[in-house]
Amino acid sequence: MHALNETHDPALTSWVDSANAAGTDFPIQNLPFAVFRRAGSDEPFRGGVAIGDRIVDLGAAASAGVFEGSAAHAAQAAAGDTLNALMALGPAAWSALRLALSRALRVGSGREAALGPLLVAQADAEYAVPARIGDYTDFYTSVHHATNIGRQFRPDNPLLPNYKWVPIGYHGRSSSIAVSGQRFPRPIGQTMLPGESAPALRPSRRLDYELELGIFVGTGNASGEPIAIEGAESHVFGVCLLNDWSARDIQAWEYQPLGPFLSKNFATTISPWIVTLEALAPYRVAFERPEGDPQPLPYLDSPANRAHGAIDLQLEVVLETERMRQSGAVGFSLARTSYRHAYWTIAQMVAHHTVNGCNLQPGDLFGSGTLSGPTLDQAGALIELTVGGKQPIALPDGETRTFVEDGDTVELRGWCEAPGAARIGFGACRGTVLPARG
């Protein structure tokens, strides 16, 4: 796991003034990666790093010879239209580039004249999915979410017996993953309503969001060679926000015996910025299990994972309805929670995914599963907040919601803050639901 180094110093400031503003997501201690170009242009997409309200154009920086040695090699790898080549280089290269950026962007660095002209305003940029995602696996790492959902169907026994022993996951669809700003039509599928004798094909009436993290794989592993938990995080490039949109009524009809299919594969929204695990080092906390729960099997356990495996990453879901936009009202905060409540860690997900010899590749994406806290106001999905639609949420303007309606925009937010550390954030992950086609 990453140790603290000079890039984490909370006293560092940047010659990019906006990076020093209180509450910014992108101070010099963060330096997350994305793929961007100027909005509306025919420029090629290329890698960039956020600093305040600007983007360091890594392609231009590489061409200008701003960096040296392994940092220059890493910047060149990030100059393409995906970050896969950078991800494949491994943690030493990622760290070298991040350190070089930190030093170049600091007040007094002497690199302002070289880098300043290579900055692009975030307000002028558009983003692409930051990697070519070969495979997408969605996990189920929140015991609170699993319990809340299970209680709706199995009140006396909400958790299935395997949950506390194995990180549950399923393989999802990578082709429908899109970056923040995604707009998609309400999904259509088979549903079976109460009292019906046969299903019908119709638009989903119980469309939901899921508050998740996305975990991007960096270096992969050879087929047949598991990744041990002790080195699992060296295979992870970084983390983004992820909304795994879910059609609960389609899901209820189709999920047995093989799990989600059309209820999940129509849209998944991710934030454009990937925050590296190195940047998250100051916010690591102990991984703990409730007293009486089984301890992880040896391949899912290590001293480092117990001491620092969890991350105190704050998460929030904000709903913006069409009426709110028309009236100029701000969005309504539906829930806040922390990733520290997850039952399984990033390292455990990697170790379990590969224990059977499965080979990961640079750019593969994991979803954490819905991240809910121990109380319902920390629930990461409407199906939990509304208890399956039985308890509608009252919004400030008089509207109510049991599930997501046409025109609604859901925004996920994430940030980390801790004593003795700078606050860093993830930017926004926004998605909007359009009416069903046809």
Residue pair 39/91 in contact by the 8 Å Cβ criterion:
no
Sequence-distant (6+) residues with CB within 8 A of 432 are 182, 183, 184, 407, 408, 409, 410
264 is in an annotated binding site: yes
212 annotated as ligand-binding: yes
The SS3 of residue 314 is: strand
Is 256 assigned a ligand-binding role in the annotation?
A: no
Q: Is 268 annotated as a binding residue?
A: yes
326 annotated as ligand-binding = no
Residue 301 labelled as part of a binding site:
no
154 is in an annotated binding site: yes
Residue 25, annotated as binding a ligand: no
Q: How far apart are CA 75 and CA 96, in angstroms?
A: 10
Q: Which of 2, 144, 145, 308 is catalytic?
A: 145
Beta strands in 248-356 (DSSP E): 268-270, 275-276, 284-285, 310-311, 314-320, 332-338
Q: Read out DSSP for 402-425?
A: SS--TT-EEEEEEEE--TTS--EE
CA torsion sign for 94, 96, 102, 104 is: negative
Place of tokens 């997350």: 32
Phi and psi angles of residue 196, each rounded to the nearest 5 degrees, phi first: -85, 150
| Helical (H) or strand (E) element with 46 | strand 46-51
Strands 136-139 and 125-128: unpaired
DSSP class of residue 380 equals: S
Residue identified by tokens 């709110």 is: 324
Residue 400 annotated as part of some ligand binding site: no
Q: b or e along 206-240 (b: 16 or more beta carbons within 10 Å of the residue's beta carbon)? A: bbbbbbbbbbbbbbbbeeeebbebeebbbbbbbbb
Q: How many CB atoms lie within 10 A of CB 41?
A: 10
Largest CA distance in the chain: 74
Asked if 145 is an active-site residue, the reply is yes
Residues forming the annotated binding site for Mg(2+)? Answer: 244, 264, 268
Residues forming the annotated binding site for Ca(2+)? Answer: 138, 210, 212, 244
Residues forming the annotated binding site for substrate? Answer: 140, 154, 251, 255, 370
What is the set of active-site residues?
145
Residues forming the annotated binding site? Answer: 138, 140, 154, 210, 212, 244, 251, 255, 264, 268, 370
